[in-house]
Amino acid sequence: MIHQLKTLVYLAGLSVLLNGCLRPVTPRTSTGSTQPTRDDNLALGNPSRATLNDPDNYLMAKSTYTLSYSRKRGIANWVSWHLSSAWKGDSPRTNEFRPDPTLPTGWYAAKTSDYTHTGFDRGHLCPSDDRDGSAEDNAATFLLTNIVPQAPRHNREVWKYLEEYERHLVANGNEVYVIAGTYGVGGTGQNGPASALAGGKLTVPASLWKIIVVLPTGSDDVSRISTNTRVIAVNIPNVQSAADKPWNAYVTSIDLLENQTGYDFLSNVSADVQRIIEARVDGGNS
């Protein structure tokens, strides 16, 4: 009898032990990664709701950036990309300016000769130096759908300094989301004013604008954007004299850019957060 009782106690204890071992384990709460990664270039939203069905708001998704292209204007409406140190490397500048072979059949594809002796630079929207992680990444920035007619001093001075500031932010422990685009018709290059190149096939924009969203390096980026997130917006006239001032002389708000372009920026961000950060004007450069 005593032996049977001991056996029952032993079996009961073993059952409790096994049940404890088999009970589902509660997953640990993730603290989020702080390692730089290559994230979705369109994570913050499609500002013009570009699709494959609209030739003047035509969505083109590359591995290195995403853009909306206008067949009528012959240039991009906007280009969107993510930048973190994961995109950076030491691959040299390829200088492979070339037509974009992915444009639909029958559409005019800009050629390098369209810019020759025009007084306008072949200006990048997504910069070459933002994509030097590999030769392939860098070469993608020289597709002429990522290039617009840009006043030389605008391209080589004020716009360049803004691009360098983006990379300065990344070098200091941040990642950024950037949307850059064109607005209007008519700029002033080295040879004076012009509204179009290549016999009217390529529009010379009146201004180039840019939005930069700054986040500490991490994961779940859209959910981390708050009313305290730094957002920089600029709109710089496409003229030689634009370079007479620093880029932060041209700061504006996202709200004003939306009113001008008709786009809806940061559409994947909470509406309550958008309301605050899109009204803000950030004039800093540090």
Question: Active-site residues: which are they?
Answer: 124
Cα 222 from chain centroid? 13
Q: Which DSSP symbol is given to 204?
A: -
User: Dihedral (C-alpha) 157, 163, 167, 172: value to the nearest 10 degrees?
Assistant: 80
**From CA 179, how far away is CA 37, in angstroms rounded?**
18
State whether residue 187 is helix, strand or coil: strand
Q: What is the token pair recorded at 47?
A: 């500002």
State whether residue 221 is helix, strand or coil: helix
CB of 141 closer than 8 Å to CB of 64: yes
Q: Which residue from 259, 60, 277 is spatially nearest to 177, judged by alpha carbons?
A: 277
Helix %, strand %, coil % of the chain (to 5): 30, 25, 45
State whether residue 231 is helix, strand or coil: strand
